[in-house]
Amino acid sequence: MKIFCIGYNKTGSTSLYHAVKKLGFRGDLSTMNEGEFLMKNVKDGDLKSVVDWIEKWSDVELFKDVPFSIPYVWKYLYQKYPDAIFILSERDTSEQWYNSIYKFHNLGFAFSDKPTWDEVSKREYRYIREDGSGGFLYDYMSYTYGKDGLPYDKDKLIASYEAHNKEVKEFFKDKDNFISINVSNNNDYLNLCSFLGKEPKGNSFPKRKITNDKSTW
């Protein structure tokens, strides 16, 4: 059993993760830290290394965030794990999602009012490339949302978010191993439990990794 949470970062994926884990599926928080180091591999086109890494975690069923939240990685994983479960997490609105990821990144990276690519490339998090071309944050922002304009251009990020959700839903529309959820919707928690064949452990998703809580960094 493999469960891949493929919603963009800051769509309630941590709340989703803990809800699914509480239902009895095996997860390991170390995967969230290690997985971010694979951002470099994804940007360089090495998706095989993602599968090799997943196989290393043979006892883990539940995966989320980078690299699983990166565009098109989910499609490669479907080829390798066609019987896995894929869960797309979404926010109430695209603007709500944008505000969440911008505030969360600004909280952790302390940007200027309008962050530039130069700022992004100099933020030391997870790794910095030896050739000086930036590190995790630069790779994540440029690959996920594109290099045009400023890194946190609102229209650009929202377009990427909406395109990702649309493509995922279109791909899985006739498949029974997919569900989309909104962690702020209590009915979606019950729908998820039913989808996974588990008895609910309450009536709502837990609230984890709140955007304005700096301790989550």
For helices 73-80 and 154-172, the axis angle rounded to 10 degrees is: 20
Final residue in a domain of this structure, among 133, 155, 177? 155
Q: What average pLDDT does the structure give for the chain?
A: 93
Q: Give yes or no: residues 108 and 191 share one domain.
A: no
Q: Give yes or no: residues 181 and 151 share one domain.
A: no
Residue 189 structure tokens: 């928690």
What gap in Å lies between CA 71 and CA 51, rounded to an integer? 16
The rounded percent of the chain whose pLDDT value lies above 90 is 83
* pTM, rounded to two decimals: 0.92
Question: Residue 17 belongs to what domain range?
Answer: 3-92+158-209
| Number of Cβ within a 10 Å radius of residue 69 | 25
Integer CA distances (angstroms), 195 to 81, 198, 199, in order:
18, 8, 10
Q: Is 26 within a domain?
A: yes
Q: Is 82 within a domain?
A: yes
pLDDT (0 to 100) of residue 213: 53
Residue 66 structure tokens: 């980078």
Cα angle value 82/72/156 (rounded, 5°): 150
Q: pLDDT tens-digit profile of 159-187?
A: 999 999 999 999 999 999 999 999 999 99
CB 73 within 8 Å of CB 50: yes
Give me the number of domains the chain comprises.
2
CATH of the domain at 183: 3.40.50.300
More confidently predicted of 216 and 58: 58
Q: Give yes or no: residues 7 and 85 share one domain.
A: yes
From the list 198, 199, 215, the residue with the least C-alpha distance to 3 is 198
Residue 20 structure tokens: 């699914």
Q: Give yes or no: residues 110 and 44 share one domain.
A: no
Q: pLDDT tens-digit profile of 12-63?
A: 999 999 999 999 999 998 999 999 999 999 999 999 999 999 999 999 999 9
What gap in Å lies between CA 97 and CA 103, rounded to an integer? 10
**b/e for 96-117, b at 16 or more Cβ within 10 A?**
ebbebbbebbeeebebeeebee
